[in-house]
Structure 1
Amino acid sequence: MERRDDTENGHETAYARTAPMRPDTAPSHRRSGIKSRLLLILGLAMLAIAIASAVALVALTQIRSQVATVADRELPASEAALLLARIGERLQDRTPALMVLKDADARRRQMDLIEQDLQSLASEAEHLNRLHPGKDSDAASFSRLTRALADNLRQIAALIERQADLGRAAIGQRERLIQLRERVQQILGPSILAVTDVVDREPSAPEPLFRRAALAQGALLDAERLAGFAFGELLIATEASSLDQVRQSRRTFERIRDRLVGLVPRIPSGLRDELRAAIADLAGQLEPAGVFALRSGELAAIAEAERLEVANRRIASQLKSRVDALVRSANANIAQVAAVMGETVLANTLLFVAVSVAAILIATLLSYRLVVRDISLNLRAVTQAMQRLAEGERQARVPAMDRDDEIGDLARVFNVFKEQSFRMETLDRQLTEKSNLLLATFDNMNDGFTVFDAQERLIAWNPRYLELYGLSDAALEYGVSLAHIHARLAARGTRAFTPLGEEVALAELVSERRSLTREYEVRCPDGRLVELRSNPVPTGGFVTIHIDVSERRAMERQLRQAQKMEAVGQLTGGIAHDFNNILAALQGNLTYLEEGLKDRPELYARWKKAMGASDRAARQVERLLAFSRRQRLDPQLVDVNALVTGMLDLLEYSLGDGIVLHSELAVALPLVRIDPGQLENALMNLAINARDAMGGQGQIRIETARLSDAEVEIRVEDTGCGIPQDLIDRVFEPFFTTKSGGKGSGLGLSMVYGFVSQSGGGVTIESEPGQGARVGIRLPVCAESAVADSGTLQEEGAVADCPQGNGETLLVVDDDPALLDLTATQLESLGYSVRIAGNGAEALDVLRGDSSIRLLYTDIGLPAPWDGFALADKAREQRPGLRVLYTSGQDHDRLEVAEVLLKKPVPLDLLARTVARLLSA
């Protein structure tokens, strides 16, 4: 066993020499082979040499004790000391590397290497102590120095970790400071601008007003300036290079903070609390977790680590001095022993040489006669077989394989080598095939791929990269610079952007990609969007994937537009619901006044105009509800082709003589489940919009088609002026119109969009300026077994006489006071006793106190927690036989089949008939 220093990984390893393995194919019983004959000859020669050696051995025994001393103590001690010195130098080199590493994983790996070296250092120091035990010897000094070096290194590692923790905390404080600065700017900035705006808009205002405005603006400006100084000092402190700079920044910051606190009383009263809170948050940086304490701790850790690193250098120097002294001492002892050995060896060498030469000559003659000649003949045959194999002769036969001596072993091993070479050829062929497969995959990737070396030269790319950027094969060659490629792309109008949407020059894409993973978005002149994902290569350079994201971004835009339309629909539905309540009160009161105005023609005429206006408002609300997908529908099984065919005559009449109407209907379209009347209105709206876009002259084409097994489409196409691209996303918004002169309400396409969406379909629009427009209505195919809808009851039609009550007690609940009063008046005029409540809790109290109430008439949209449904459920728990009548400005899916909903505004005759029917049930 021997020790060696492994210079590749810096650790001591041990190894042992092992004997070569014999071929497995060797025969188990062998005759006397080459080895046996050679051993016999060598044995005879060694016997002669042993006699001469015995004489020399007597002389060598005399210096044995001195050699043993050198071998057992001086040499191992020198080896151990030298190894200690090498490990110490290696540790000395690792310390600066550990101090400059920023990555935690890299520091941990470096510290693992240091710990391994420290373990080796302690082991060798202990070994040296065993060789040189003593109170104050060089070995003891080695132990003390190695322990001090290990302690210093561990302290440096702990200090570096502390510095890293403080650095991360400081980064977090900086981010919070940036947020706080934006917060202070949001507090002060708008107020300063507001004061300036008041002064600019009122140049003739009294002088006291100007004086107060100037004083207020001055205080705000001073506060903004002092806040900027305070944030500046905090940022200076985060970059301070010494503790004195940190303390100086802290004192300056404290003075600025005090001035800000003193300035608060001069700030307008509406901003003082917010500013005080901001100043308190700013003063929090003086706490132990603030910027100043964090930076001071970081600088202290750096200073202590540097001090320990200097101490380590001093320890390493002392360790080297001790090693040099120990080596000099060992060399002197070795030289003394060597001189004595030289004299003894010289005296016995002549005798030994003479005997040895004679033995060698005799052994050589016997070896040639008995061994060499036979070996030469057989080795020549094996060599010739190997040459034939090297020349490609796969059937070359290896001779002497049947021998049971070493020549036979060699022949058998060569035969195994031959088989292995054939196997390697097969593996090489398979490797070539896999390489070709990998190259084919690389060339047929859907994404572009490039590799640049450390000098920013192109060394690999695939055809998709050229296709994405519209480059030709002749434009690129191996080794072309990235700057040259960027120049070509920039000349064609290619632009680059960060993931946050900030534009960057193409030349700026290079610097950070060498060392950091980066992503960019490149916009090509043809409208294509390419996403760059670049990663650095450890050996220098970087690899980049170029992904075409044009389709994905288009889908994202469509999703945002759908979300926008959904939000607008919800807002529109809420507005329509609230307006319906107002309209119900208006129409109810107008209906109540009708009988009293019939004998006054002038007022009755005005009443008719008001009633007509309210009817138009009701239709407008219906359109808004259609857009918000809250209108009441009557879905039926509809043959789309039959519906379109039945409308063609009406469309031709409505569109006028200047419009040529064409239809192209697909054969055997499946049925759809939809409200046919609303679908006819939608097609009429689209046709009229198309006519208006063509100025009354042009062609309109209506087509039907089956898009898939689950969907059919109706397309309306015109030859008009088209729609600009920047307006296509807005055409479905309520009240948006491109018609001039106040023409159009802006609700036509909104109604189409809402109706189709409520029916489970979708609307698409394609247009280019000057090329006309195409609107598609996609509708889901109906299943073969359609289930009839369970809807609510809405009785329509007027009757001549309203059923009258017999004093029955009704409870009316509505959160709109005007509508509540109107409904109570109407029911009282019908002969009922009416109790009223403005919310669910009040209604429950009334219900508990009056057992004569037979019917609950409630609005569904009551304020939480008692909406109409919750109120009805609770009322039925208290009064199981209670009748319930709902009212609302919109439909509701929660209603049971047997429940009744009256849609606002409710005509008096419908209200009378419904209440009478429920009470008599």
Structure 2
Amino acid sequence: MTALRVPNRLGSHLSVRLRLWLALAALALATLVVGGASWATLRQTSTRLDRLHDQSLARVDDALTLSRKATAVAARAPFLLTIESPFRLQVEAGISKTLLADIRRHLDGQNALFDKLLTEMGGSIDELTTLSLHRIELTDRILRLNAVLAIEERRFAALAREKQKPLGQREQWLTMQRISAVLLGAGRSENLIGIGEFHRNYRALIVELEEDEKPLIQSQLLKLQEIASGRDGLFELRRAEIGRRIRAEAAMNRIRHSTEVINNHAAEITATAQANIITERERTISAIAFASGIIVIAVVLSILMAVMAAAFVSGHVTANLRAISDAMMRLAVGDRSIRLPRGEHAGDEIGKLFHAFRAFRANTLRLDRSNRQLAQKNALFENLYNDMSDGLAILSNDEKIIAHNNRLPKLLSLRATTVRTRTSLAQLLEAGNWTRWHRSEGFADLHHPSGTVVELRQSPLSTGGAVALLSDVSERRQLEEHLQSVRRIEGLGRIAGEVAHDFGNILSTVSTNLHLLENATPERAAHLHHTLANALDLGTSLTQRLLAFARRQRLDPEIMNLNELVTGIEDLIALALDDRISLHIFPASEQLAVRLDPGQMESTLLNLCLNASQAIEGEGNIWVRVVPSGSDMVSIEVQDDGRGMPAEVLARAMEPFYSARPDGTGTGLGLAMIFGFIRQSGGDIKIHSQHGHGTTVRLLIPLWQSTDCSEVMKPAGRILLIEDNMQDLAHARRLLGDAELIEAKSAEEAENLLRDASPFDYVLTDLHLGNDVAGWRMAGEALRHSPDTVIAVVSGHMPENMPEALAQSGRVVSVAKPLDHAALARLTELKSTE
């Protein structure tokens, strides 16, 4: 450490202000001594001036004293706002109240306005003290909560980094860490807007974990919720603390305003006194003109003493200022060892400068320490950023890649140079031949021709842009597909067992009655034939139900007015319902044409209304509404106010042979048949139910867009038909008629035709070719060779969403099997929009 030497003059304990007063006193004394000779001449005038000066200066002194004390009160108000010790706060508040009492005694009730101002200042100081005490208490509680949250945040981070834990559990601990970090941010936020933003983020993260039923996660989540929520929660404490701080600042502003009024009054008194002095001086100039010679001598002597006093003061002040200036310069260029001696010039202006230098030096040392800690944190973050197993990219508002970690190129099977030359994430995915499938807002699946599946999670940043996290989920998706296969096999086994049981009963009935027919009388034979017919009808009904569930029943679709069909079946439904149940039918306000099997549609509506009536105990209502849904769909809603379905029953409502009727009379094929019929007709079914609040079944049916099928039967141009099922291939040939048709029975054959032949106007491909889901790939190949080609991907088990790139092209449609005229009409209409 280097300590600068500063001059230590005699009387260095005296302040600069006191030294100036001493110099002025010496000058006044010299003036009085030198002017004693003119006392006799100036006695009368001097007496008048002294009296005037005594009166004026007294008033000025009173005004200055009043202003100084009021200013002292106002100067202490901000200090009261920043004190963190209750004891110190009480002491400083007492000092301020003592100053107010001195001012009040000094005024002695002479001015009613000042009495009111002093009373308001006293009330403001009391309010400021009370609010500061409450704020200190709230701050202490918030700091304690922050300490607990900091410990929890580090613990959650450690749990999230344990690689031996399952990924889902690590993500949950990571979410818990993010919740702790959000609460820590709220505890350190300095404004209500920031706290509100943290509160919104906190609620969003809480929602992510609400469905998790793991006891450990739930207990930890409840602990964080106890810290954050309620009247004693972190958010309420922070809002209360900021509110009291704002009110305290308002009280401080009122103190300043009162002080300003008092100072203005003091300034008016001073200005009046100065005006009186100037007036009296002008009156006495002529009276003291003859003493000019003596005054000249007094001036000379006064100048001499002033020069001596100035030399004395300036020497002391300049030396110390030079020492402080040198120390500041050395500190600014990086010399942290420079110091100034303590204990000298205590209380005077130079001492305050020394103290300011020491505070500045301490802040500089703290800043250096903070910079070192920040550099360590940056290094830690960079290691985490580059060594994490997932790919990470920071995106701008226009999805340009600002930064990425080292894992991103490896995860996307790209070279580092490729990543550097592509400026956006979309370009990277295109370069790596990745196909994006949207799952939900902020989530997407990336599929590679090699079979690799990468999950893309994209979250917006508060400062703009977004962060993209890419994780390889290939193994997880394979396990999920395997689990789905197992479940399908279990469902098939359950269906096979039920069907075998039912057909066994039917065959047993047939066998028994055939045996009895050998020796039966004519009357008995007629009865046995009737029994055999009933058994055959039961077998036929069971077969039709299974075909409906499998979406393979034979349908006779017609183009019809949906409003007329729904209103026309009203009487039949009303007859089948209990008299205590009211039926309300609301057709659409516009005419809606659909292509359906009318008999199956009427049976569907009747079955849904019967199901709804069985869920109603006593009196109730059933509503049937026809509502347009978008530009190409119509919705039929069947709603009841019955008992509804629990979540576990709703999850299995579509399963074949599953029935929740308490009397055990249900076959379990009703909703399964409806589901098969609607899906085979190109629609979908949605069920919303809540136990105790009724059920709503929503049937989504495509609207019929064309009234003329002649052009569909004979499309113009070249058509590539890709199908490995001979029956479906023959059916497509019949629909396409005399079109220029080129057939391919495998994905390899189709790829060769697309690559070597001239472009096709239409491509119709099955989604599943052999054991490969190759339909999407065929569509992509066709678009690459000819962007004007219209493609239909056909399947009996069509997924809900197609790949994003194909959907964005606007040239690919998905069609449910069997292929029909409506699908060809859609293709023709799409081709005509070119």
TM-score by length of 1: 0.27
TM-score (normalised: structure 2) = 0.29
